[in-house]
Amino acid sequence: MIRRPPTLQATDKLAFLLSLVPWLIDRAQVSVADTAKHFGMTEQQIREAVMLIAVSGIPGETQQYQDGDLFDIAWDRFEDDDEIVLTHLVAIDDSPRFSGREAAALIAGLQYLSALPENADRGAIDSLMAKLARGASTRPSEMAVEAGETDAALALIREAVATGVQVEFDYVNSRGDREHRHADPLRIESVDTDWYLRAWCHLRGAVRIFRLDRVSALTLTLLPIEFSAGDVPLPDELFEGSADDLFVTVEVTLAAVSLIADYIPDDAERITVGDRVRTSVRVSHFHALKRLVAGLPGMVTVVEPPEARRTVAEWAAAGAARYGIGPG
């Protein structure tokens, strides 16, 4: 979930130029700073784009790109005041359409987000999707994401943030322990079908991440929050390492490596032995490990340390014992 500033390919730059021109046309004058802010780009990127636009145009009657065939800007305003004023226009009047693939990407994203309380009005979302499709130059890609169900917990959390009160709930951690928590909600995060609440936990006195499907009996309190999203630095990575993490050596089938990629540290060694990779995973404790390994049966085997192997072995044996299958 790292959000680096995007590096722009030539086609991205073209899309930007085709978008910047109509935006500038709609404004008699605008500062480089405001333009950069609106498009989420650096001021230098904006200046470069404006300088390119200012010398561009059409071959024209003479096929020589004469002055009247080119865009022009008020150069003194640009150079002295960092202001953009288009003084001559060529060829472009309006914003470009979306490509079919661009529209499809946004439509599928909207379908995924239908669980959010902001999207409870399905009619409004449907008409937004129809508008994207109509604004595309070709039919959107044949693609769809199952709509999530509106989640009552998300609506409550949103209400808590809007009114500035703490939430309280029961939480079962991966050890199986149930604790009652008070928390200041900071952000809702998700990966595929798993949704998480990142919050300031008053029990731990720190930012913690809670899987929403492990949260029960969530209610609003009358206690005011102590922290809001702007007060605490929030990590870009959903699964960030901690100094207390344990490192475990595992053997993984080639096909399953991507399924545990979140747990493999960036600098971990990966040695391929036949159809398996020996590498290491980082976990908060062995109880989280046993659930991870048990969800990929036969695909991941713990090599060491012995205590980690034992934790997994006991988990599996206890599971098998429920069906009357003993050790041996």
User: Measuring CA to CA, which residue among 84, 87, 156, 91 is closest to residue 117?
Assistant: 156
Report the 10 Å Cβ neighbour count for 109: 10
Following DSSP, what letter does each residue of 215-280 receive, concatenated?
Answer: EEEEEEEEEEPS--TTTS---S-SS---TT-EEEEEEEEGGGGGGGGGGS-TT---EEETTEEEEE
The answer to whether residue 15 forms part of the interface with another protein (CB under 8 A) is: yes
Residues 6+ apart with CB under 8 A from 62: 69
Q: Which is nearer to another protein, 76 or 325 (CB)?
A: 325
The answer to whether residue 59 forms part of the interface with another protein (CB under 8 A) is: yes
Q: Which residues of 62-97 are buried (b: 16+ CB within 10 A; e: fewer)?
A: eeeeeeebbbbbbeeebeeeebbbbeeebebeeeee
Alpha-carbon Rg for the chain, nearest whole angstrom, is 27
The answer to whether residue 56 forms part of the interface with another protein (CB under 8 A) is: yes
The answer to whether residue 152 forms part of the interface with another protein (CB under 8 A) is: no
* The only residue of 128, 165, 223, 268 in contact with another protein, by rule CB under 8 A: 128
* Span from 75-83, 219-227, 272-280, 317-325 in contact with another protein (CB under 8 A): 317-325
- Range 169-228, binding another protein (CB under 8 A): 172-174, 176, 178, 185-193, 211-214, 216
Q: Minimum distance from CB of 142 to another protein (Å)?
A: 4
Q: Which is nearer to another protein, 59 or 265 (CB)?
A: 59
The answer to whether residue 67 forms part of the interface with another protein (CB under 8 A) is: no
The two three-digit tokens of residue 109, written as one number: 């994203």
* The only residue of 84, 260, 289, 312 in contact with another protein, by rule CB under 8 A: 312
* The only residue of 141, 150, 249, 253 in contact with another protein, by rule CB under 8 A: 141
Q: Which is nearer to another protein, 76 or 118 (CB)?
A: 118
* Span from 52-60, 80-88, 239-247, 269-277 in contact with another protein (CB under 8 A): 52-60
Q: Which amino acid is at 3?
A: R
